[in-house]
Amino acid sequence: MSVPIVRTVFDLRRIVAEWRAAGEKIAVVPTMGALHDGHLSLVRAALTGADRVIVTLFVNPKQFNSAADLAAYPRTEVEDAAKLAPLGADLLFCPDGDEMYPAGFATTISITGVTEGLCGAQRPGHFDGVATVVAKLFLQTQADLAYFGEKDFQQLHVVKRLAADLNIPIDVIGCPTIREENGLAMSSRNMRLSDTERKTAIVLAATLMESATRIAVGAPVEVTLSEARDRILSAGFQSVEYLELRAEDDLAPLSDLERNGRLLVAAQLGETRLIDNVQVPFQGG
């Protein structure tokens, strides 16, 4: 069993047209490859929601801030295709850079509000790159449903805003973060961690979860976050780019837990930048 690989928008559209003519519901799962169980959970969810599932694999240069980060990003197309085949994904769309951004390409989609702060502040242009490529993937695949991970919580908000604002007829569905047994959120970037860094990385998720529990039962936000920051740094992280409590529904900054929140973090460990987030449930009335 193998998954058909398509590399051009022309071929993709031909296949999608047949599916649509047959009245089939189509889902898309956009990825940058180096697939792990987090990605595969999105594919499984998509398979339950649609008749056809397109997985896209494109390491999008427009969403990287540094050439070194882009060059170091893992590329494992053969292994990725092998992981998808047994799940029953219908198609793997792997365009190259020229197919996505041919000579003369000049459009950028820029979203305000939900892109401000957090990763948006730390990675200028990142969400423009995400929004532009995701808009293209939505239009190329003409999917009815799109599955994204809560692991990239701000990105999920950005993509929902994009679809709503541009009237793209697609339902954006968020899926829970898949973690290793030790709590570390799965990420293609984890491949780059040394054995020692992996042990240190566990502290990020553990601290996040513990802080979320404390805030949920009424601990003061600022003090809790300051202690969490110290703990992450003393574990061996070089820096904590941000550690913030935001509202779950619109990402507004929260100084008190007055509705459901999300605690979001980005921290640098050696050469690797890790992000994570957890829910902080509002229990008051």
The residues that touch ligand AMP, with contacts defined as CB under 6 A, are: 31-32, 38-39, 41-42, 148-149, 151-152, 175, 177-178, 185-188
Task: Tell me if 178 sits within 8 A of 245, measured CB to CB.
Answer: no
Whose Cβ is closer to ligand AMP: residue 54's or residue 221's? 54
C-alpha dist (Å) from residue 126 to 149, 177, 249, 263: 17, 21, 21, 21
- Residue tagged 């989609």 (tokens): 109
39 is catalytic: yes
Whose Cβ is closer to ligand AMP: residue 39's or residue 214's? 39
Task: Tell me if 144 sits within 8 A of 26, measured CB to CB.
Answer: yes
Distance CA 285, CA 272 (A): 40
DSSP output for 15-52: HHHHHHHTT--EEEEEE-S---HHHHHHHHHHHHH-SE
Q: Is 235 helix (H, G, I), strand (E, B) or coil?
A: helix
Length of the chain: 285
Is 157 marked within a binding site? no
Closest C-alpha to 55, from 99, 100, 19, 85: 85
Task: Tell me if 43 sits within 8 A of 89, measured CB to CB.
Answer: yes
Distance CA 279, CA 261 (A): 6
> What single-letter DSSP state applies at residue 17?
H
Whose Cβ is closer to ligand AMP: residue 132's or residue 188's? 188
Catalytic residue among 16, 28, 39, 275: 39
Is 183 marked within a binding site? no
Distance from CA of residue 251 to its chain's centroid? 16
Is 35 marked within a binding site? yes
Distance CA 260, CA 248 (A): 6
Through-space distance between the first and last CA atoms of the chain, rounded to whole angstroms: 53
Whose Cβ is closer to ligand AMP: residue 176's or residue 218's? 176
Whose Cβ is closer to ligand AMP: residue 38's or residue 120's? 38
Distance CA 126, CA 102 (A): 20
Catalytic residue numbers read: 39
**Annotated binding-site residue numbers:** 32-39, 63, 149-152, 155, 178, 186-189
